[in-house]
Amino acid sequence: MKNKYLFPLILFLLAVVLPFIVPEFWVHVLTEILIMGLFAASFNMIFGYMGQLTFGHAAYYGVGAYTTGLLMVKANVPLLLCLPLSMLSAGLCAAVLGYFCVKLRGIYFAILTMAFGQLVYYIIFQWYSFTGGDNGLQGIVPPDFLGRAANPYYFFTLIVVAIGMIALWIISASPFGYTMRAIRDNAERTEFIGINVQRYMHLNFIIAAMFAGLAGALWGPFNRSVAPDLCSWQHSGMPVFMTVMGGPFNFLGPLIGSAIYTMLMAFVTSFTEYWPMVSGIVIILVVLIMPGGLLGLLGDKLPFLRQNEHSTKETNG
Amino acid sequence: MNFRKTAAFFVTVITCLFFFGMTGAKAAEPYHLGVALGLTGTGALYSADQVEAIKLAAEEINAKGGFLGRHKIELFIRDTQTKPDVGVREVKDLILRDKIKAVINDYSSAVAMAVKPIAQEYKVLHIAAISNSENITKINPSPYTFQVVPNSYMQAKAAAVATAKMAKLKGWKEYITIASDYEWGRSTQAEAVKILKEMVPNLTLKKEFCPRLGEAQYTSYITGIMALKPDFVYGSLASNDNVAWMEQAKTYGFFDKIAYPGSLISVTELILQAKTLPRNLIALTRAPFFAHLDIPMMADFVKNYRAKYNKFPSDWAVLGYDAVYALKQGVEKAKTIDTEKVKDSMKGLTVNLTRGKLTFRTIDNQLSCSSYVGTITDDPKYPFPIYKDIVEVKGSESERPESEILEARKAAKK
Amino acid sequence: MDITSLFTQFLSGLTYGTILFLVAAGLSLIFGVMNILNFAHAALWLMGAYFSYTFWSWMQGNSFAFWLSIPLAGLAAAAVGWVMEVVLIKRIYKRELYEQLLITYCIALIISDTIKLTWGVTNKLIVRPEMIRKPVFIFGAPLDSYFIFVILAGAAVAIGLWWFLKYTRYGHIVKAAVYSREMVGALGIPIPRIDTWVFTLGIFLAGFAGGIQAPIGSITLGMDTAIIIQAFCVVVIGGFGSLLGTLVGSLIVGEVFSFTILFWPEGAMVLIFVITAAILIVRPWGLFGTPMRT
């Protein structure tokens, strides 16, 4: 079972070496890939492991981003302290909203998460005196020990994201993670063996939101500003795209998907303003031709990519 | 025979020299100019016009060899989707991959404000030519950010002064504001309310409406306002929002009952709504070409723009054109395309633009350009109505006093 | 606040609700029968508005141009919808929820860009005929005279659909399919053909609604992203697949929006999402829907 760690290790080494080789623009792209990758991985805790589609995950990402932004701009709180606080605030939001979401399944779950996401979006958008409304918040900068160059913040992000991913991995490989899989595959049977399905789902929802909040917290200092768009339903679609591209049944699928999607967009937007059409066509092709995502497809050919989770899951409609 | 050979030899040599000379001239570094505007989303309409005018300006300058006669302008055009985070990413890309020295950006003030610190970090000139929130230059000023469009304060002041005069004249008592829910709408509305309060103290503000940016259904707002029976409504809606709002309000006979002075109706709207726009409305705009046809540069621009695109230039086209020419004159004064020097030379620089001789204010890099208030009237010379009795409110009359700017900066630091 | 202004606001809500109903009716129908939540619905609605503009400008000068362009927009959109169903949507009926959502969302992206490529970024205005440029007064409350037509068209669509579902053979099949596709298939009725035609009908309604929207303000890119979420809210409140529910849902959203603007303008959108979330929590199948089969 040793080669289970081979692929993540290769990825990590690649992530360490790449910024010294590629031009600066691509370091920014890599940073974005990491942040969005953690966001997508947290989304996949709900999607891949719990079997529910959330279309409002950006709300927690946005709450994390705004927590860090507000703390840094208005109270000069150091970034290292902002990160756990962002996780906390996103988690608290999810504790309240998720309580209602986990009562539903399937399409209703998707729509309720979306409605809550829009609710958070409008609150941030309308609350001018506190959040700056559509202006967003400017003047969020990386801490002094990182400076303003691209590489230091990239490595900071890499460390935080790596810790986040390892934490998610441990959770997903724990008995709790396997309970989630059981719920995904058959919620009724899981209930019958004495597991409080709703409570487990609620807990998982909160965990996913916390890591989305962590990803969001990294975004503000990277971009020097945050804006309400980070919470919109279109932004909630991003982790869905990424996860589906990379492969939802592989722990690293969302991260790989983030790399494909972000690089594709960085490439496409440089020569056409019709990027929505290009991304639309690409994703339709991905869904129709390789339903398991890239890692799902490669996993059939390259055994070391494969993980033990190819289940034929049913939808809980 | 011999003569022919000699002639052929000379022709060859001269041709070679000519080409050599040309490549020699070309060898000077081209000037990479970025254009990052909202080509999708609510800003698409204005941004597309601006891109056209920027292309025209670049062609004209390149026909004479480029900046300083040797640095050809190369344009790199990107879509910011009118979203701050996308704007930041695109501008980073323009800076790092396309090596731009200056960027014209954006339709949305929120995007311009997000891009400002990025441009400053990478030491790239940032010229705002549509977005005009005064916060772009007022607080946290960047020496790299310049604004060639009258800012929200200047516009609000011009409109509010005109409105206040009318309010006094007509004895208006109560009013309502309607402003699109975003940076520009909010800040323009807030300034206008302040100025109206100062100038006409007995005026009361009954309610403030803030419809969503990009709202398509204004009916509830229209009837809501009519129910409150104000004397006039002060509007801060732009672009598509203003078109939709006015089209819908008109069908309710809104403008027959309630005055609507001082809203932004640019040349784009004059052309688009030529048939339906209520006449005799007092409105405001930023750079109408017909106000300055006496200036040769404007007359030429209108002629060339019409020849190239077969339409009249909107305010946004004029502003884009001016942005490029302001940059050109900054480069000429600096005698180099080095951004650090151009930035310094543009500080306080007086430039000749289509709108006349205008100066960048030293304190905030805001071009002290005019706002235009007038009455919408038909003109036989144009297939659309234009402004009549134009009052050109000069930059010097409408700028925020420097002392207030310093105070605001001090307050923001705290 | 006097009675007249409240009545005026009620009328505004009614017209807003009617517009939402026209958009949401097709959405609800398609979801009810095929179980597909069509993200691209509003994009096709917007395309209908642009089609209507094109037909109107082709026939300019003709006194019927204005009225004729609206149903023609519906037909043109229906043609696009038919192609879409046959080429793409057919392949995803049996797919998982997320795949269906992603594909229809991507179709929405593609259609939006197609609109931009075809019609450009300039917004389009349809000039109304003289007879509907002035407001009419109902008990002293002003109403855009075009909205009388809008409300009538909404009522006609509601009654037409109701009649279709209640009294025609195809209507019965569609209604049966909402309850059990398998059963209908087992009776020897070709389900794929029914799907195609229901989808086309749904998109016809979207295009028709777009045509009706066109003369209200100006037609601009991006109008679709806002209305699709509101249409989802309507369908959720009313209940998936229920015609009556969609009607009631749109009127609720329209009136709530209209009256909140009067008293608490900032909260108008927020309140609609709160209502939607509340309905989902208490009664996920909506006011008039039936609990969904699994």
Structural domain boundaries in chain A: 29-233
Distance in Å, alpha carbon of A170 to nearest chain B alpha carbon? 32
Tokens found for residue A257:
């998907």
Contacts of B179 in chain C (CB under 8 A): none
In chain B, residues 40-69 whose CB comes closer than 8 Å to chain C: 40-42, 44-45, 47-48
Count of domains for chain B: 2
Report the chain A residue with the minimal C-alpha distance to residue B38: A273
Out of C37, C101, C112, the one facing A276 most closely (by C-beta) is C112
Q: Which one of C99, C112, C116 has the shortest CB-CB distance to A287?
A: C99
Give the residue ranges of chain A where pLDDT is below 50. Answer: 1, 308-317
Which of A47, A114, A244, A312 would best serve as a mutation to test chain C binding (most C beta carbons within 10 A)? A114
Residue B48: give its domain's CATH number: 3.40.50.2300
B237 and B346 inside one domain: no
Are B37 and B142 part of one and the same domain? yes
Pick from B359, B364, B363: which is nearest to B394 by CA?
B359
The residue whose two tokens read 């009118």 is B82
B127 shares its domain with B169? no
Q: Residue B188: what are its φ and ψ, rounded to 5°?
A: -60, -45
Shortest alpha-carbon distance between residue B35 and chain C (Å): 17
Phi, psi for A213 (deg, rounded to 5): -60, -40
Please report the pLDDT score of residue B24 as a whole number.
Answer: 44
Question: What is the structure's pLDDT at A315?
Answer: 39
**Nearest Cα to Cα of residue B51 among B323, B272, B302, B273:** B323
Q: What domain range includes position B306? A: 31-150+292-371
Does residue B312 form part of some domain?
yes
One domain for residues B157 and B125: no
Which H or E run includes B357?
A: strand B356-359
Place of tokens 């037409």: C160
Taking an 8 Å cut-off on Cβ atoms, the answer to whether C222 and B41 are in contact is: yes
Residue type at B150 in one-letter notation: P
Residue in chain A nearest B133 by alpha carbon: A135
Q: Which chains would you list as touching C if contact means 3+ CB atom pairs under 8 Å?
A: A, B
Last residue of a domain, one of B255, B285, B315: B285
Q: B256: buried, middle or exposed (CB in 10 Å: 19+, 13-18, 0-12)?
A: exposed
Q: Which residues, in sequence order, are CB contacts of A176 under 8 Å at separation 6+?
A: A200, A203, A204
B397 within some domain: no
From the list A224, A227, A269, which residue is nearest B118 (CB)? A224
From residue C80, alpha-carbon distances to C47, C73, C206 in Å are 10, 11, 11
Q: Is A44 exposed, middle or buried (0-12, 13-18, 19+ CB in 10 A)?
A: buried
The rounded distance, in Å, linking the Cα atoms of C126 and B243 is: 12
Does residue A209 sit at the C interface (CB-CB below 8 Å)? no
Residue labelled with tokens 């879509």: B79
Residue B245 to residue C265, Cβ atoms within 8 A: no
Whether chain A has a CB inside 8 Å of the CB on C101: the answer is yes
Residue A59: its H or E element: helix A58-75
- Regarding whether B128 and B191 lie in a shared domain, the answer is no
Task: Tell if the CB–CB gap between A104 and C91 is shorter than 8 Å.
Answer: no
Domain co-membership, B262 together with B178: yes
Task: Calculate the alpha carbon distances from B32 to A55, A271, B35, B127 in Å.
Answer: 41, 16, 10, 14
Q: Is there a single domain that holds both residue B42 and residue B131?
A: yes
Measured CA to CA, the distance from residue B141 to residue B375 in angstroms comes to 36
What is the distance between the alpha carbons of residues B349 and C292, in angstroms, rounded to a whole number? 70
Contact A18, A316 (CB under 8 A): no
Of B90, B97, B114, the CB nearest to A227: B114
Give the closest residue to A113 by CA, choosing from A58, A157, A164, A159. A58
Reported as a single tens digit per residue, the pLDDT across C246-266 is 999 999 999 998 888 877 877
pLDDT at C182: 81
Let me know whether B313 and B254 are in one domain. no
How would you write B50-70 as a 3-class SS string?
A: HHHHHHHHHHHHHHCCCECCC
Could you tell me if residue B111 is inside a domain? yes
Predicted confidence at residue A304, as pLDDT, reads 55
pTM higher than the cut 0.95 = no
CB B88 within 8 A of CB B114: yes
φ and ψ at residue B294, rounded to 5 degrees: -75, -20
Flag whether residue A236 sits within 8 Å of chain C, measured between CB atoms: no
Please indicate if any CB of chain C lies within 8 Å of the CB of B223. Answer: yes
Average pLDDT score, chain C: 88
* A298: amino acid identity, one letter: L
Residues of chain C with pLDDT under 50: 293-294
Inspect the interface and report whether the beta carbons of A23 and B97 lie closer than 8 Å: yes
On whether both B146 and B203 belong to a single domain, the answer is no
Six token digits for residue C244:
């009556």
Cα B134 from Cα B143, distance rounded (Å): 15
Residues A201 and A94: beta-carbon distance below 8 Å: no
C55's CB contacts (< 8 A; 6+ apart) are C65, C68, C69, C72, C73, C76
Q: What is the ipTM of this complex?
A: 0.86
Q: Tell me which residue has tokens 């508005």.
A: C49
What is the rounded CA–CA span in Å between residue C6 and residue B345? 60
Q: Is residue B393 part of a domain?
A: no
Residue ranges covered by each domain of chain C: 21-121+147-221
> What percent of chain C shows pLDDT beyond 90?
41
- Could you tell me if residue B212 is inside a domain? yes
Cα–Cα dist B261/B177, whole Å: 11
Neighbouring C-alpha atoms within 13 Å toward the C-beta of B410: 6
Per-residue pLDDT of chain B (414 residues; tens, 9 = 90+): 465 566 665 555 555 555 444 444 445 889 999 999 988 767 788 898 999 999 999 999 999 999 999 999 999 999 888 888 889 999 999 999 899 999 999 888 889 999 999 999 999 999 999 988 888 888 888 999 999 999 988 988 888 888 888 888 888 999 999 998 877 788 888 888 988 888 888 899 998 888 887 787 788 889 889 888 899 999 888 777 888 888 888 888 888 889 888 788 899 889 988 888 888 888 899 999 999 999 999 999 999 999 999 999 999 999 999 999 999 999 999 999 999 999 999 999 999 999 999 999 999 999 999 999 999 999 999 999 999 888 888 888 889 999 999 998 888 776
Asked if residue B303 and residue B235 are part of one domain, the reply reads: no
Tokens of C10: 């009620």
Report the residue of chain B nearest C112, measured CA to CA. B40
Let me know if residue B228 belongs to a domain. yes
Q: Does the beta carbon of B244 lie under 8 angstroms from any beta carbon of chain C?
A: yes
Give the whole-angstrom CA distance, residue B282 versus residue B264.
10
For residue C139 the two structure tokens come to 């008990």
CB contact (8 A) between residue B240 and residue C213 = no
A134/B78 Cβ within 8 A: no
Q: What are phi and psi of C143, to 5 degrees?
A: -145, 130
pLDDT given for residue A180 in this prediction: 92
**Three-state SS for B347?**
coil
Residue B229 belongs to a domain: yes
Cα–Cα distance for residue pair C58/C65, rounded to 1 Å: 8
* Cβ contacts of B109 on chain A, cutoff 8 Å: 135
d(CA A215, CA C272): 29
Statement to judge: residues B173 and B239 lie in one domain: yes
User: What backbone torsions phi and psi does residue C23 show, to the nearest 5 degrees?
Assistant: -75, -45
Tokens of A82: 């902002």
Is A96 within 8 Å of A40 (Cβ atoms)?
no
Give residue B30's pLDDT: 93
| CB-closest option in B210, B243, B275 to C123 | B243
Residue at B157 is within a domain:
yes
| Peptide linkage before C224 cis (omega within 30 of 0) | no
Q: What is the CA angle C102-A103-C99, rounded to 5?
A: 10
Paired residues of B37 in beta bridges: B79
The pLDDT tens digits of the residues spanning A111-142 come to: 899 999 999 998 998 887 888 887 888 889 99
